[in-house]
């Protein structure tokens, strides 16, 4: 590609790792997907701003991923540059009862950090895969808790690549939704307000939470987590199970027999397999129950 030399030079100046023609299957938890033109690992807010300015000014298509846990990558890949907010941009800082995390920090690592500092409020989020930035983007939650309960503010890149701060009351947080999905803002860091607690009690609650996940969810297979959003008035997994769709397959994709809210990769699934299976499930659920299911993961396209 004509821009690759310039992009490589820019990444070198910024100290960001760049991998040309990178297979996305290595970077998403579903473990499938074709190549992108280049994958760039973000290492700072300033690097993210400069890279976004360059890509936008040159009209280069780009996508954003964290640790790939809520992403579906197409079989043909992504005809552009993927910016990864991952391990190179994952600092976690604690000051009193405040926890500040760079966007690429694993949510699980933030939970562990909180426990180590005897801070309570994140126990039910332990075990949710992905990054803190991704968790805020979709207002992730489990077992009655969600990011909206603890977030105070966030730093993000606006449409003009300026670094801005936004308070919680401006984030429009609701079920699996935030303003960032609408204003094209790219989350850089998240600040959370926790409370003082007992490290031992927090640890016990985290173990209990992880035990629930292990017993109920198909964690031994690649997936994107819950495949459908919860429809108002019911639960996706309940509807799928009521329709007798547990174990339904398309190629290497299967509705989990352990948890009907998951579609898993049996080891050889393609993106086409997963999307075809999801379309069939949605059609059957709609026909039999009247509920319209919506995909929860983001399709990178």
Catalytic residues, by residue number, are 176, 226, 296
Eight-state DSSP code of residue 177 = B
Q: Can you say how many angstroms the Cα of residue 101 is from the centroid of all Cα atoms in its chain? A: 15
Question: Long-range contacts of range 245-253, CB-CB < 8 Å, 24 or more positions apart?
Answer: 245/281, 245/284, 245/285, 248/277, 248/280, 248/281, 249/277, 250/274, 250/276, 250/277, 250/280, 251/276, 253/277
Q: What is the 3-state secondary structure (H, E, C) of 124-152?
A: HHCCCCCEHHHHHHCCCEECCEEHHHCEE
Compute the Cα dihedral for 206, 146, 152, 188 and give only its sign: positive
Other Cβ atoms within 10 Å of 119 Cβ, number: 24
Question: Alpha helices of 168-270 — where are they, by DSSP H?
Answer: 180-183, 199-216, 236-242
Cβ neighbors of 108 (< 8 A, separation 6 or more) are 126, 127, 128, 129
Distance CA 249, CA 245 (A): 9
What tokens were used for 15?
Answer: 């100290």
């Amino acid at each position: 590609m004509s821009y690759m030399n310039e992009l490589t030079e820019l990444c070198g100046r910024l100290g960001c790792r760049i991998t040309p023609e990178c297979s996305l299957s290595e970077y998403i938890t579903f473990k499938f997907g074709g190549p992108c033109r280049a994958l760039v690992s973000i290492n700072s807010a300033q690097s993210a701003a400069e890279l976004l300015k360059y890509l936008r000014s040159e009209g280069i298509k780009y996508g954003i991923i964290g640790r790939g846990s809520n992403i579906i990558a197409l079989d043909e890949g992504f005809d552009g540059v993927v910016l990864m907010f991952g391990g190179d941009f994952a600092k976690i800082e604690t000051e009193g009862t405040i926890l500040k995390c760079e966007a690429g920090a694993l949510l699980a690592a933030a939970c562990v950090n909180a426990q180590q500092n005897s801070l309570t409020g994140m126990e039910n989020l332990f075990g949710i895969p992905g990054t803190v930035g991704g968790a805020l983007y979709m207002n992730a939650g489990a077992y009655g808790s969600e990011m909206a309960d603890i977030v105070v503010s966030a730093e993000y890149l606006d449409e003009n690549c300026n670094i801005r701060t936004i308070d919680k009351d401006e984030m429009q947080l609701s079920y699996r939704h935030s303003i960032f999905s609408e204003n094209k803002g790219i989350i850089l860091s998240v600040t959370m307000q926790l409370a003082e607690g007992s490290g031992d009690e927090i640890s016990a609650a985290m173990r209990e939470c992880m035990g629930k996940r292990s017993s109920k969810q198909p964690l031994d297979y690649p997936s994107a987590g819950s495949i459908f959003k919860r429809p108002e008035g019911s639960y996706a997994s309940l509807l799928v199970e009521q329709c007798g769709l547990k174990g339904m397959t398309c190629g290497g994709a299967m509705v989990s027999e352990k948890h009907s809210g998951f579609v898993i990769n049996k080891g050889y699934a393609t993106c086409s397999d997963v999307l075809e299976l999801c379309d069939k499930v949605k059609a059957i659920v709609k026909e039999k129950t009247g509920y319209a299911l919506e995909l929860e993961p983001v399709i990178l396209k």
